[in-house]
């Protein structure tokens, strides 16, 4: 995927600091951006984003051109009973990153989420539609967005959804594991969204951060499905005969509310001339080849 944008820095002249480098997106960002840029991957032990002094000290000493802020508190259900921890990482941590970035003149790319919307829409959400997060996780991520927007003059906010990749825990790997243990399972069919492969998202972020096309972006693999349809596709791509039955969200109550509809329109990708991410099924097929290759 190449962008045809002007105002681009060449990646091999860029210093990029990535927070959350051990996460499922962070690991792919480090490996993909690291092919063309000088990358500093920071995990929680290297850089506690909630510590303002530490952020100032470490980031100021590296002076990155871009900070890709992928560190986040992502335990959606746990956040409901652990509000302070969620806000500490997602809001205060983002503020700390924003303040240092502004001081040293860095761009910031903040990874956000479809959970900033309430999921009540029946048409895809555009980047500047009003947000209305319902749970603590979505509210704390929206707080992070606001702090980035308020404190940074050079920012990208990338909202994504239904993320999966080779690293960490995700729906695809869970389905494969459960499917290997059971002949059939139930999956909700009344939540609709767009799966996103971390590799494709990383390539888009690489395209984006080279430019000065600041603002909010919605980035997911293209196309739409329910979790039920996603699960069926996973088993088809994996060559597994596990039967999937549709069920409702009410049959599986969880502490945090889930958006019923979290499809995002990629208006900013189109209007800024970037290449959109490929269809989700194509991405899933590629992921499955990689995943099978890794398994012993």
**Which domains can be identified in the chain, with CATH numbers?**
11-169+194-222+262-277 (3.40.50.720)
Taking all residues of the chain, what is their mean pLDDT, rounded to a whole number? 94
Catalytic residues: 137
3-state helix, strand, coil in the chain (%, to 5): 45, 20, 40
Q: What is the mean pLDDT of residues 25-45?
A: 96
Over residues 121-130, the pLDDT tens digits come to: 999 999 999 9
Q: Is residue 4 predicted with pLDDT exceeding 80?
A: no
**CA R_g for the chain:** 19
Q: What whole-number distance in Å separates Cα of residue 164 and Cα of residue 197? A: 5
Q: How many helices (H) and strands (E) does the chain have?
A: 10, 12
DSSP letters, 141-157, are: HHHHHHHHHHH-SSEEE
Q: Strands of 38-42's sheet, edge to edge?
A: 38-42, 15-19, 66-69, 107-113, 155-160, 215-218
pLDDT value at position 253? 87
pLDDT: is 56 or 293 the higher one? 56
Over residues 158-204, the pLDDT tens digits come to: 999 999 999 989 999 999 999 999 999 999 999 999 999 999 999 99
pTM to 2 decimal places? 0.94
Over residues 73-127, the pLDDT tens digits come to: 999 999 999 999 999 999 999 999 999 999 999 999 999 999 999 999 999 999 9
């Amino acid at each position: 995927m190449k962008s045809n944008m002007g105002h681009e820095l060449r990646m091999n002249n860029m210093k990029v600091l990535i927070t959350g480098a051990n996460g499922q997106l962070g690991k792919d960002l480090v490996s993909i951006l690291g092919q063309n840029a000088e990358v500093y991957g920071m995990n929680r032990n290297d850089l506690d984003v909630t510590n303002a002094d530490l952020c100032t000290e470490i980031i100021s000493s590296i002076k990155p051109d871009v900070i890709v802020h992928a560190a986040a508190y992502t335990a959606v259900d746990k956040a409901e009973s652990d509000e302070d921890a969620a806000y500490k990482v997602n809001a205060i941590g983002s503020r700390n990153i924003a303040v240092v970035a502004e001081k040293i003149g860095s761009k910031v790319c903040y990874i956000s989420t479809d959970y900033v919307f309430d999921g009540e829409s029946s048409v895809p959400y555009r980047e500047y539609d009003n947000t209305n997060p319902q749970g603590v996780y979505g509210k704390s991520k929206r707080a992070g967005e606001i702090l980035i927007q308020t404190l940074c003059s050079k920012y990208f906010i990338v909202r994504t959804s239904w993320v999966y990749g080779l690293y960490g825990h995700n729906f695809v790997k869970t389905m494969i594991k459960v499917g290997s243990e059971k002949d059939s399972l139930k999956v909700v069919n009344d939540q609709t969204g767009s799966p996103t492969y971390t590799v494709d998202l990383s390539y888009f972020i690489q395209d984006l951060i080279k430019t000065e096309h600041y603002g909010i972006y919605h980035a997911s693999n293209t196309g739409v499905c329910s979790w039920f349809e996603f699960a069926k596709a996973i088993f088809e791509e994996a060559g597994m005969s596990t039967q999937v039955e549709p069920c409702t969200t009410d049959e599986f109550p969880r502490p945090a509310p889930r958006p019923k509809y979290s499809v995002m329109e990629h208006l900013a990708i189109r209007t800024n001339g970037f290449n959109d991410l490929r269809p989700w099924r194509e991405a899933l097929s590629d992921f499955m080849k990689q995943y099978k290759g890794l398994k012993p």
